[in-house]
Each structure stands twice: as structure tokens, then as C-alpha cells.
Amino acid sequence: MPGTSGAEIEAVVFDVLGTMVDESGGLRAAVVEAISASGEIPDGETVDRLLTTWRDHVDSEQRRMGEGSRAYANSEVIDREAAERVAAQAGLADPAVITRLARAAERLTPWEDSVAGLARLAGAFPVLGLSNAGRRALLRLNAHAGLRWHQALSAEDARACKPAPEVYRLAIDAAGCPPERVLMVAAHAWDLRGARAAGMRTAYVRRPIGDPPRSTDRFDWRAQSLDELAAELAAA
């Protein structure tokens, strides 16, 4: 974009869930697996309803934490609560099945360009992951998906969830440079709005599932893939 230079960027920070890995598809697969383990044949309508229950709980609890009406709880706690709600609706009783479902975020699949795109950008910049996933979940997810960061940061260290400004401050402090020299990459416009409010530069990368920008959003870069973003940064 005019007036934006890749040479001004000293570090690149990536959202993880949804941006680097297929969170929605992985959660759907975990719900289908859990129902199938009980001997039932899952139908699409039931799975959709259970996924809505999961997402509504996560969104509600993160909002409550942001408002201060609930003390901070990491993603493992929230996901366990969501899994138990799904299990109750689906009639799942096996503790092992429920535990595996609760840990679905540790087994998400990277998007096709994630591993290679991350490696390409890591050759030009320090790259950091910044996720609302808790420390344990993020560690195991990175290993499972093959995501190789120079540093991976969990919002648990700020005891808050994005888009709280203190979470972005984790990345800015780790980068050790002014926020306007740190680029936040995400498939969620709400995440980029939070990063921009913290003074960071922003890059939207389109994914099949995400939160697309509004017509009023002003981000420094927009790309269809990580390869395209890497090329644009190199050319800027």
C-alpha cells in the first residue's frame, strides 16, 4: 500500500488460531469423532448445533473476562467447559472422549501455505506467534502443526485475551522495537483492529474461515496467502 514499506518492519507477529491453523475444521472433526466414539452416526445439523454451543461459550467467556465479570481463565479451562457443554447436549459420558474433545485445539491442521510461508518470512524477519491459546495448548499445537517460531507467546502471560491491549504489548515488548515497526498478521479483522489500536502495523490474510475486514478498516497490507504477503513485504 502507498506509504508503507517492508523495510520499516523489524518483526512479524502472527495470530495462530484460524490464521495459521484451521481451527473451525479441526473443531468440527473433533466433535464428529466424539459422537462417533459413542456409537452414533453424526449428522450435519447436529454437529452444527454443537459447534455453535462451543463457540458461543468461548465467545461469551472471553467477553466476560474482557469486561471483568469473570476472572481470567486460560483456554484449556474454557475449552474444557465448552467440551462438557457439548457432551451434555450430545449425551456423551465417556470421560476419555470428553477429555480428548476438550483438547481439540492441540491437534489443529495448518493451512496449506502456513508452514512454508512462515519459514519464508522467518528468513527475513524475526517471527512470533501470538495466541489466545494457553501455554500448554499452544506448545502442543505448534508441535503438531509443525509451526516453527522464533518465539511463541500465549495471552495467558498477560492474563487476558486479544483484543486486550496488554496481549499485543507482549509481542511488542518481545520484539524490542517501537510498535510501528511490528507487523501483526491475522485472518480476523477484530484482531487487527486491536493490534492497530496498540500502535502496530497490520496485515490481513484471507482464510476460508475468518473475520473479513469492513469497508472502513484500514490495514497496511491485504493478501490472499502468506506467500503473497511475503512477496509484498519483499517488494515494498
pLDDT per residue over 196-205, tens digit each?
999 999 999 9
Structure confidence at residue 41 (pLDDT)? 87
Amino acid occupying residue 80: R
Over residues 90-109, mean pLDDT: 97
Q: Return the CA Rg of the chain.
A: 18
Q: Is the pLDDT of residue 118 over 70?
A: yes
- Do 23-107 and 6-22+108-235 have the same topology in CATH? no
Please, which pLDDT band fits residue 39 given cuts at 50, 70 and 90? Answer: confident
Grid coordinates representing 70 are: 469473570
- Percent over 70 (pLDDT), the chain: 97
> Does 4 have pLDDT greater than 60?
no
Tell me how far apart the alpha carbons of residues 5 and 183 are, in angstroms, rounded to a whole number: 11
CATH architecture of 23-107: Orthogonal Bundle (1.10)
- Local structure of residue 111 (DSSP, 8 states): P
Fold observed for domain 6-22+108-235: Rossmann fold (3.40.50)
The pLDDT score that the predictor gives to residue 210 is 78
What pLDDT is attached to residue 40? 85
Q: Where are the domains of the chain?
A: 6-22+108-235, 23-107
- pTM value is 0.94
Give me the sheet containing 201-205, strands edge to edge.
Answer: 151-154, 127-131, 11-14, 182-186, 201-205, 221-223
Do the beta carbons of residue 132 and residue 61 sit within 8 Å?
A: no
**CA 18 – CA 109 distance, rounded (Å):** 10
Whole-angstrom distance, CA of residue 188 vs CA of residue 202? 11
Q: Using the 8-state DSSP alphabet, how is residue 6 labeled?
A: G
pLDDT at position 135 is 97
